Amino acid sequence: MTYEISRRLLVAAAAGSALALSFATPAFAEVKLTFLVDNAAATVTASEALAAAFHAKNPDISVEVESRPGGGEGDNIVKTRLATGEMTDVFMYNTGSLFHALNPQQNMLDLTDESYQSDIMDTFKSVVSENGRIYGAPFRTTMGGGVLYNKKIYAELGLKVPKTWAEFMQNNAIIKEKTKAAPVIQTFKDTWTSQLFFLGDFYNVLQAVPTFPEDFTANKAKFATTPAAIKGFEHQEEVFKAGFLNEDFGSASYDDGLRMVSTGEGVHYPMLTFAIGNLFETYKENLDDVGFFALPGDDAANNGLTVWVGEGIYGYAQTEHPDEAKKFMAFVASKEGCDVQTKAIGALGPYMTKSCTLPDDVPSPTKDLVSYFAEGAKNAPALEFLSPVKGPALEQITVEIGSGIRSPIDGAKLYDEDVRKQALQLDLPGWE
Amino acid sequence: MTTQNKKGTRRAFAAAYPSWFYLPAAVIFGILFLFPTFASLFFSLTRWTLFKYSFIGLDNFRQFFSEPFLVWGLINTLIYAVVTSGSKVVLGMLLGILLTSNVMMRGLLRAIVFFPVLVSTIGVGITFTMLMHPTNGLINDVIAVLGVKGPAWLTDPRFALLSVAFVDVWKGVGLATVIYIAGIVSIPAEYYEAAKMDGANALQRFWNVTLPLARPATVTVIILSLIGGLRSFDLIWAMTKGGPGFTTDVVASVIYKQYQAGFYGLSTAGNVVLFVLVAAIVVPLSFFLNRREVEA
């Protein structure tokens, strides 16, 4: 008998505590949203500033910022959380090819009919849309992929910003001869940083082969058989073979790279301009010694920049608070949202909201970046915004080419293989 | 209470315990082991995005074996497993002999040898990554004092895999030593006395008494460290992430990268391959080593 009673007691106790728990939750009137972002210092600072400003305006909604690693590990976390139903109400993620891999129709709130869409640039809408529906709101700014350089050393040596690859190599030779600084900074500890010579050269690829993105997506064009497309790989090998790299290129990290280019330990750092945000955070006093230019191609008259559309923020389809989540996204995409971000991490580049403006005193690299968006200036989106196909092993391949382990043509063949897997996974027509 | 007791006694004639006693263990085993095993066998035959899957037969396995980095990964895995396992056997036995003899501060030395086993692998990996930094790491600073320029331990493809294997041995040799200490201590002292009476010197005593009688310890060390080496991942990931490029990729890191890239079906197929590979090497080896033991 005792056995029976104690079991009954246990059940009652368990049920009681479960009831107590379920009553406790709705006692708070305030709605709490969670916002998942990557853990780069600039991202977290900007997100927290946005959350605070939004809460000040809407006292009944609070936003908690949660951070995750960036790169491949971050992709993994986002995908796993979506698949297991554990995603936060609002989350930040890439636009373009990576966005499509998240199955937006199933996982994200539809933002097509939001009132602010008319204020968003079409370039942005096109990279967060699937089957004519819009799923993302712009977060942060448009970026350029090119070269951050140390202006102080350029001034000391009387160098000019190169418009062709040959001029770039000439500058490197002069820097190597006359200074102790490394002409080109590479930081392969953070493997993603190794891709810039290749990805940032896409403006030049597109000038030579305008149909490359469509042909590539349809499995008709290959990197290994398109001479213009593997120039990026060849350039990477050239700077390695010429001995232009910093001595510890294999073990240096992204942060080391930023330190080198801002303090003049190195001169050229191929990078995306979101790095300006990190420079603003960590090397503010040297920020105006840093400038930016597009990766040069062969034709000085046709010099232009490869552009990365900024990240998007998305609402989780199964969130319990869809209206509040949409309200928060509307705030981030508004002029007010832009101003909060500019105040928190500085002006990094042009925003994707039409009514947003930049202050007059933007940091020097941002000024250089913005000049590529001025009237008559030339730019083109990176390949990942024109084709859903991007191979995941690219960063390892570029590390190998950049360290002289693999030849450019071998790397291109390997990358074509890698890309095939992604195309199959996305179920694209023309691949098998 | 009384009725229950009676029931229990009656059952005892049929079996020691009622069979539903097995149920909790069976449920846990089923949910945590059997179900995932069969689910992964199934998903290894699909192209799977976590959101949806399509059945593609053996395509994943074909793809996996045509991966250019997989060949490297397989070779590296074997090199890594053999190098770490071999070094652990040799060093573990030498340390085991040293620490069972009458050395000073034996207890302290045993603790020191075992200490790295207790430290987190990721922590060890990150620490050694710092120490092995080519320009401001402690190791190359020390070598520089001798007037030699040390290599880029982790970023030169010629050294990277062996550098990681070295750290693995440093971290794992303590466990091998403990197994050897237990094995050597259990050898009866009479054998050594008899050998001494016959005039055997220290080397002969080691060769003819310690080595053959510590065989069970050797077998355990070889099998444990070989399995550990074959499926090794954490240390490699913490130190080189398979890099530079693909030069220190092992099978497990290739699988992990495919998982990261979202190729869930393909990486599951890789896990099936790894399972088969480890079983194919270790089961016959274990059979072979244990049979020899019985014959001896």
What chain A holds in terms of domains, given with CATH numbers, is 28-142+309-359 (3.40.190.10), 144-308+369-425 (3.40.190.10)
Interface test with A, best of B155, B263, B264, B266 (most A CBs within 10 A): B155
Q: Quick count: other Cβ atoms within 10 Å of Cβ B259?
A: 19
Mean pLDDT of successive 10-residue segments in chain B (296 residues)?
A: 47 67 90 89 86 84 81 89 95 94 89 92 93 89 88 89 95 94 93 92 91 91 89 90 88 88 88 86 84 57
Determine the CATH number of domain B61-295. Answer: 1.10.3720.10
Say which DSSP state B206 is in: I
- Given this model, what pLDDT does residue B293 score? 56
Burial A230-260 (b: 16+ CB within 10 A, else e): bbbbbbbbbbbeeebbbebbbbbebebbbbb
Give the pLDDT score at A1.
31
Q: How far is A10 from chain B (nearest CA, A)?
A: 19
Pick out chain A residues at pLDDT < 50.
1-27
Chain A residues within 8 A of B242 when measuring between CB atoms:
396
R_g (Cα) of chain A, nearest Å: 24
Which residues in A lie closer than 8 A to residue B47 (C-beta atoms)?
A: 424-425, 427
Give the single-character DSSP code of A241: H
Q: Which residues contact A419 (CB under 8 A, 6 or more apart)?
A: A223, A389, A390, A391
Whether this model's pTM surpasses 0.90: no
CA-closest candidate to residue A61, choices A292, A325, A356: A325
Four-point Cα dihedral B260, B263, B266, B270, nearest 10: 0
CB pairs < 8 Å spanning A and B: 98
The pLDDT tens digits for A4-42 are: 444 444 444 444 444 444 444 444 568 999 999 998 888
Residue of A nearest to B1 (CA): A1
Q: Are A253 and B155 in contact (CB under 8 A)?
A: no
Question: Min CA distance, B196 vs chain A (Å)?
Answer: 55
Of all residues in chain B, the one with the smallest CA distance to A413 is B68
Pairwise CA distance, residues A318 & A320, whole Å: 6
Q: Do B244 and A188 touch (CB under 8 A)?
A: yes
pLDDT of residue A281: 83
pLDDT value at residue A388: 84
The beta-carbon neighbor of A424 closest among B47, B50, B155 is B47
CA distance B243 to chain A (A): 7
Looking at beta carbons, which residues of chain A come within 8 Å of B39?
Answer: none
Q: Mapping DSSP to helix (H, G, I), strand (E, B) and coil, where does residue B103 land?
A: coil
- What pLDDT, on the 0 to 100 scale, is given for residue A360? 85
Cβ pair B250, B265 in contact under 8 A: no
User: Are the Cβ atoms of B50 and A248 closer than 8 angstroms?
Assistant: no
Burial degree of A374 (CB within 10 A; 0-12, 13-18, 19+):
exposed
Tokens of A160: 């000019």
